[in-house]
Amino acid sequence: MPEDAYARSKLAGEMAIAEATYGGSMQIVTIRPPLVYGPGMAGHFAQLMNIVHRGLPLPLANINNRRSLIYVGNLADAIARCIEDERAAGRTFLVSDDTLSTPELIHRLAKAMSRPTRLFPFPAGLLRMIASAVGAGPKLSRLVDSLQVDSNTIRNTLEWRPPYTTAAGLSATVTHWRRHSQSTTHT
């Protein structure tokens, strides 16, 4: 049930591919990942890493959401499994390696960076009102709303398990980010 233009465009793309391949010999597999993280990622996840590294306090201590995510290495492994295993043909799979709250994610990022976690409680409703007033409502929603996917279908159908733990994925992400951020600050 897509709720925004981005999600509707993804669904339209899936439908167009299904229509284009209907009745042909090509089998399609649809893979729907949640937030993908890993070396070289950009966007909101990179912004969050910058904030955590700088030690800025965040008013998110009492956010109790659930956010599924997947390390890029785990996503690549799931894609390879779908290509190799004929049981994947014609299926749609949700894939994730972990589900964390935003405070848990921030804590794990801070730990991987050897930085303190700086979270403080703030009323979620008031935080939403402030974000909406300054035009940051959608950005805040991506950070504090829940988006949890169930990857049991790919795990049960293809016996797929993520080869990398969340800790390993975050460590690789932070290591790459450190190298990149240090090289760009000295140029």
Question: Residues 68, 149: contact at Cβ < 8 Å?
Answer: yes
Distance CA 32, CA 63 (A): 25
CA distances from 82 to 27, 97, 116, 149, 182 (A): 11, 16, 40, 18, 37
Rounded Cα–Cα distance for residues 60 and 93 (Å): 31
Q: Is position 6 annotated as part of the catalytic site?
A: yes
Kindly tell me the burial class for residue 8, based on how many C-beta atoms sit within 10 Å of its own C-beta (0-12, 13-18, 19 or more).
exposed
Spell out the residues 6+ positions from residue 83 whose beta carbon is closer than 8 angstroms to its own: 29
Catalytic residues, by residue number, are 6
